[in-house]
Structure 1
Amino acid sequence: MRGRLLRAVLLGLACAAPAPALPADPPESSLQVLHWWTSASERRAAKVLATRLGEEGIEWKDNAVPGGAGLGAGKVLKSRVLAGDSPGATQIIGVSVGEWAELGLLRGFDSVAVAGNWNRVLFPTVYSLVQHDGHVVAAPLGIHRINTLFYNRKLFARLQLPPPANWSEFEQAARKLRAAGITPLVQSSEPWQVATLFENLVLAESGPEYYRQLFVRLNPQAAADKRLLQALTHLRTMKGWMQLPLEEQSWTDAVRRFARRDGAMLVMGDWAKAELNEWGYATDDEFSCAPMPGTAKLHLYSVDTLAMLGAEGSRMAAQEKLAKLVVTPAVQQQFNAAKGAVPVRRDADPSGMDSCARDSWTTFASGAAVQAPSLVHRMAADEQSRDAIIAEVHRYFMNDNVTEADVQRRLAAVLRALNSRRRN
């Protein structure tokens, strides 16, 4: 029943506020693009696309909406669609692509995909993500690795600490850092950032199959599993590694604290690397990255995609040019180097990537058996399911009186309710 909630919201609001009549669009030499790339490195990546689109004779009209994890951009997109003023292109990712496509609001561009041999050059997981009912409805930009541990290379060298590869080494590193008067972990208490820690821990404890049972299939029985208990216990342990009092900060502020050595480690998607580079910190110099302990051969992924909206024929040519452009090898290389992600193409050359990107790309290229879709970044479940799970995890993280057993019972009830909604 994917898309049912979104459809109900859109139709309900549409009845309450009819869309105004708008003048016909002139032939398009520009394209408005709605997205949530607002940090310094994200703006640089968006500029790559804008510049390359400009070389095709089409002006990129930027509509960047601030807000971590795209929450603000999603609200703006819905309101604009209801007002009959949809942007020509928009950042929509993961399960949301199918929800919007089911409403008939996304333009398909099978001809672009066929001409570009997308079925052969894209990773199978990525190609599947941009399709709905057998038609291509989104253009993939890059793959982010969410299970990334950043660590201060110089602090670790001074204390003769290797990057931790498992939970035991993670705990040992935290103890040694504490003994040296260093806060082990920089992290925000913002809900999606806490949930990022949690989904990393679930993957580390269980591997991709159980992870999918819990977050993709929403299996209520999975909530009673001891692996979930262990992940929750480890999440509370990690809370003790953070600087008190806990603060709810944007991800860029968390990365800035890590850069100024407020703590020795940070768990964040690999976009943090691009932000550090933007501020003059070089990968494998001041800092470095490793897979989250326990996930060395696994890839917790999020894929950036652009979708094209509207039935107006006047902007179809511009939309198709953008869709074609973003998958070309040159743009893939430039955009993802700026964004901190890796190309969606199977024929990319990893030899030119930094160590973090090279490990991400080669791990993802190993195939579906090692891949896990990020819950937090909309790859695993619909918006309502995602938000309900994050709320339970955040409640547990912030309130030490909530026990692991409480969370497991509540999550089981939440998953049963979500499954009931899916069936109805």
Structure 2
Amino acid sequence: MLKLMRSALAGAAMTCAFVSGAGAQEPLRAEVMHWWTSGGEAAAVKVFADAYTKAGGTWVDSAVAGGQNLRAAAINRIVGGNPPTSSQFNTGRQFDDLVGQGLLIDLDAVASENKWSDAIPGPIVEAASRDGKFYAVPVNIHGQNWMFFNAEAFKNAGIAEAPKTFDEFFAAMDKLKAAGLTPIAWGGQPWQEALVFDAVLLGQGGKELFFKVYRDKDAEAIQSDDFKRVAETFHRMRDYVDAGAPGRNWNDATAMVITGKAGVQIMGDWAKGDFIAAGMTPGEQAGCALVPGNNGYVMGGDVFVFPKLGDAPTQGQALLAKTMLDPEVQIAFNKVKGSIPVRTDVDTSSMDACAQEGAALVKDEANQVPSVNFLVSADTVGALQDTITSYFNDASATPEDFAANFADVMSAAD
């Protein structure tokens, strides 16, 4: 994706061509590009749309299925002179080149007025800022190391509670297999497999190893026995997925748990949105627990960037940014989306049990673990995903080979 961005940027000599057209837009008209197209996601984005309309704006919905597809489309429009009012990215470094080329407006005036830095966890503030200025509006915190399960399926298979260790986890998977279910609803796409690997890395390896690998790029840590044990645990999950896993979308894997065809899905908490849309209450019919180990909360999420339409945010951009971080809107949006509010100063007592657990964890800085997207470039993330998915899908691959390949990627990381 980043290579596509750089190619587009290189060919866009007229990067300011769109500024002259900004005045033709209605002041409070906001075309918003996003990839939220599943049932739960569509319901969530409607919360933003309704709130913006209530605030006096006109929301123009521009959805493109798939994060990579959406980002490519948004980048092409931004550099091609036809930018939207705002576009979704993941929290992290995906929009670095757009900032570096001066194509995004900084939102510091709006952020200062509304005291964003006082209400948002430090790692999220840092991920949404460049050179001390906000260039994106973070709208949620997605916990990426959740394990969701069908409570009835667990009960029928004789599993009394969510496993707290990996020994308990694999014992539970054996029980689900014996009951005739697919134990793990697996989305066989590189980004999903990398997400599961990171959850295992934190759960089994702990925060120290997680940070040594991704933040410090410590080659010795990557070649350590602890890292290889994590790799072995991750690879063992192959024994509990079905033949239809390759290429499966995350929401299709979620549907397997919803319908009782599978027992467990390791996924970010956006999956809760689909459980909610299916009438399953998170923490009840849809059980939830962090991946065994409980060594912290891997924080991902979504942000919205605002292409430069002038020297300062337009009225519509400023209103949209303010609306997205309004405390009441934050609660309403994240209730449906499955995530937790990016603001830690809001009352989450009306949210589901899983969200309340996540919000409580994030309030403690010791539990705040930034996702890999915060720590390395989008190019490196892509290379890591390729390495992880190649390892998982090769039955004969060894932890030693995987560690060597992983270390090669991290040695070139920026």
How high is the TM-score relative to the length of structure 1?
0.91
Q: 2:10 pairs with 1, 9, 12, which one?
A: 12
Corresponding residue for residue 258 of structure 1: 257
CA distance 1:4–1:31, change in 2 (3 Å): closer
Shift in Å, 1:125? 2.4
Corresponding residue for residue 391 of structure 1: 386
CA distance 1:338–1:7, change in 2 (3 Å): closer
Moved more, 144-153 or 240-249: 240-249
CA distance 1:86–1:38, change in 2 (3 Å): same
CA distance 1:330–1:23, change in 2 (3 Å): closer
1:286 to 2:281 alignment: no
CA distance 1:18–1:306, change in 2 (3 Å): closer
CA distance 1:20–1:54, change in 2 (3 Å): closer
Give the match's secondary structure for 2:303. Answer: strand
Distance in 2 (alpha carbons) for counterparts of 1:136 and 1:21: 21
Residue identity matched to 1:114: S
Distance in 1 (alpha carbons) for counterparts of 2:302 and 2:50: 19
Corresponding residue for residue 75 of structure 1: 72
Distance in 1 (alpha carbons) for counterparts of 2:74 and 2:30: 15
For the 8 Å contact 2:140–2:341, the answer to whether it is kept is yes
Distance in 1 (alpha carbons) for counterparts of 2:127 and 2:214: 17
Give the match's secondary structure for 1:379. Answer: helix
Give the match's secondary structure for 1:187. Answer: coil
Distance in 1 (alpha carbons) for counterparts of 2:310 and 2:203: 47
Give the match's secondary structure for 1:25. Answer: helix
Distance in 2 (alpha carbons) for counterparts of 1:110 and 1:235: 42
Corresponding residue for residue 276 of structure 1: 275
Corresponding residue for residue 411 of structure 2: 416
Give the match's secondary structure for 2:305. Answer: strand
Distance in 1 (alpha carbons) for counterparts of 2:329 and 2:14: 42
List per-residue Cα deviations over 1:131-182 (Å, max 9, x = no partner): 2111122112111101100111112223142110111110111122222333
Percent same amino acid at aligned positions? 28
Residue identity matched to 1:185: I
CA distance 1:105–1:209, change in 2 (3 Å): farther
For the 8 Å contact 2:105–2:313, the answer to whether it is kept is no
Matches within 5 A, 1:64-103: 64-67=63-66, 70-92=67-89, 93-103=91-101
Distance in 1 (alpha carbons) for counterparts of 2:183 and 2:258: 13
Q: 2:316 pairs with 315, 318, 321, which one?
A: 318
Corresponding residue for residue 146 of structure 2: 148
Shift in Å, 1:87? 1.0
Matches within 5 A, 1:176-195: 176-195=175-194
Number of residues paired by the alignment?
411
Moved more, 185-194 or 156-165: 156-165
Distance in 2 (alpha carbons) for counterparts of 1:345 and 1:417: 35
Corresponding residue for residue 218 of structure 1: 217
Shift in Å, 1:351? 2.0
Distance in 1 (alpha carbons) for counterparts of 2:310 and 2:289: 46
CA distance 1:98–1:152, change in 2 (3 Å): same
Distance in 2 (alpha carbons) for counterparts of 1:8 and 1:256: 37
CA distance 1:337–1:219, change in 2 (3 Å): same
Corresponding residue for residue 363 of structure 1: 361
RMSD between aligned alpha carbons?
A: 2.4
Distance in 1 (alpha carbons) for counterparts of 2:331 and 2:13: 45
CA distance 1:24–1:352, change in 2 (3 Å): closer
Corresponding residue for residue 237 of structure 1: 236
Shift in Å, 1:20? 8.8
List per-residue Cα deviations over 1:51-93 (Å, max 9, x = no partner): 11112221111111111xx111111122112211111111123
Shift in Å, 1:15? 5.8
CA distance 1:235–1:14, change in 2 (3 Å): same
CA distance 1:298–1:110, change in 2 (3 Å): same
For the 8 Å contact 1:6–1:99, the answer to whether it is kept is no
1:45 to 2:44 alignment: yes
How high is the TM-score relative to the length of structure 2?
0.93
Distance in 2 (alpha carbons) for counterparts of 1:291 and 1:314: 42
1:401 to 2:359 alignment: no
Residue identity matched to 1:82: V
Please, which runs of 5 or more residues in structure 1 have no aligned partner?
none
CA distance 1:152–1:43, change in 2 (3 Å): same
List per-residue Cα deviations over 1:343-369 (Å, max 9, x = no partner): 1112122322211001111111111x3
Distance in 2 (alpha carbons) for counterparts of 1:4 and 1:34: 18
List per-residue Cα deviations over 1:165-224 (Å, max 9, x = no partner): 111110111122222333211112111111111111111122223212212333333320
Residue identity matched to 2:48: L
